[in-house]
Each structure stands twice: as C-alpha cells, then as structure tokens.
Structure 1
Amino acid sequence: MNVGKGMVVCNVVDTIPLSIDWSVDTVTFNRAFVPQAQVTSYLQALEVEKDAAIALHKAIATYDPTQAIVILIVGNGAVDINLLQDLAISPAECYKQAQQRWVEFQSDLTTHRRDS
C-alpha cells in the first residue's frame, strides 16, 4: 500500500450501460495510487479542466490521508473526482481488510457478467 498524500485512480475499462444492475453485473477496472508529486502530470495526460485540477490539488493538499481518500474515477468518457471522508474505518484499515478478504470481492465474477 502506498502511503501519504495523493489520489486513488480507478480506470474503468468497460463501457457502463445505463441499465447496469450493480448487484450482479461487473465492470473491468484498473486501480493505482498517484502520489501528490505526480498528480499534475497525471491530470495533464487526462486533459482535466484547469478548474477541476485546481480543486483536486487543493483537496489533496488539505485532506488527512489517515482519515479520508481522494479518488478519481475515469470511465465512459468522463472524469469523476470525490473526497471520501467521515469513514467508518481508516483508509489503511479498509485497504488491509480488502486485501485479506479479496476473494469475497472476486467470487463468481465471470458467471454474472452481462454483455453490454
């Protein structure tokens, strides 16, 4: 797990249909952590609008990485930026639990996938 300030990036590979049923459908995605020092070049590569980039830099500069998560989701031709805060558990504990229980998140994914 990477630590410190930065953002979690989720690149959604699949096109997400409007009628997706999140209880059974899955989407392919890649995830990565972009450290604060690399955020500017990452946003430039995505051609994120200047105002959005400024807001994202401000969020990264001021959030507490032990209590919140900055996440950028890229998919369906859109970029969505969120600050997840007031979490029930710390980001580090969330990561730890997800790693320990990853098989639960992977169970039967291929059998439930619908073609879009």
Structure 2
Amino acid sequence: CQKRGAIACSTNSTTLGVGGESFKAHFVGRSRLAPFLNAWLAAPDTAILHHHFMTGHILEVVDNYDPTTEVVLLLESFDRAMFFYLKNLPITPPQCYEQVCKTWDEFQPGVSAGQDEQLPTIC
C-alpha cells in the first residue's frame, strides 16, 4: 500500500557540493498536509501561482491520485509556490525510487560512502 501525500521541494536554500547543486525535498503525508499547506501558503513571502490551486484543491487531488503511478509536487522557488500533478510518467514513482536507491553513488560523484549525502527518505 502506497502512502498518500505530496513531495515538497524548496529551491530557496540550495547547497553546492562536489556533485552540483542540491536542495531540500521531503514527503508530506496526507495526515499532515492540510496544516503544512496552511502554514506554507500563509507565509507573507509566499504567493501561490494560479490562485485557484488552493489548499482544498490540492487536498482533493491528493485524496484521489494514484500514488503508484502519479506524483503530487509542491515547489517553492523564491516567493512563489507552485503545484504540480504529474501523470503518465515514463516510470512509476516506486520504480524511480528503487532505481535511485540502486544507483545512488552515480548521483553523488566525488562523495564517498558515509559522508553527509544521504538517500532521500520517505516518512
């Protein structure tokens, strides 16, 4: 059973490392999504693009999407918050995660095992 929720990603606090630029991303489960959206979208420096994509609409999508084949992505970039509902993907999200885990070293050139770079987590 796949857990419902959204991937929240911010490009506002990037870090530059040997492998390039990285940014914070985490999975917000459905049970925590409403409070997260209310706090995130209420921040004075965040304006959501396309104002009709408000909390209720995002929650409705999360309640109805298929987490085995689709992805809900919330992206923060500077003072903008964007909502993406990704469908018809060439690889399913579980397959993608599995492939990233298997080939994680390829995503971290120049970083030896045990250093700060860690696999993405699903909570």
TM-score (norm 2): 0.69
Separation in structure 1 between the aligned mates of residue 83 and residue 4 of structure 2, nearest angstrom: 15
Which has the larger helix fraction?
1
Separation in structure 1 between the aligned mates of residue 22 and residue 96 of structure 2, nearest angstrom: 21
Which has the larger strand fraction?
2
Q: Secondary structure at the match of 2:10?
A: strand
- Structure 1: gaps (5+ residues): 15-24, 110-116
TM-score (norm 1): 0.72
Q: Secondary structure at the match of 1:86?
A: coil
- Residue in 1 that maps onto 2:5: 6
Identify the structure with bigger relative contact order (alpha carbons < 8 Å, sequence gap 6+).
1
Question: How far off is 1:108 after superposition?
Answer: 5.5
Separation in structure 1 between the aligned mates of residue 40 and residue 82 of structure 2, nearest angstrom: 12
Separation in structure 1 between the aligned mates of residue 73 and residue 100 of structure 2, nearest angstrom: 16
- Residue in 1 that maps onto 2:117: none
- Structure 2: gaps (5+ residues): 43-47, 112-123
Q: Name the count of aligned residue pairs.
A: 99
Question: How far off is 1:27 after superposition?
Answer: 3.3
- Residue in 1 that maps onto 2:55: 53
Question: How far off is 1:47 after superposition?
Answer: 2.2
Paired-residue identity, %:
25
Letter in 1 for 2:10: N
Contact 2:41/2:81, CA 8 A, preserved across alignment:
no
- Residue in 1 that maps onto 2:104: 102
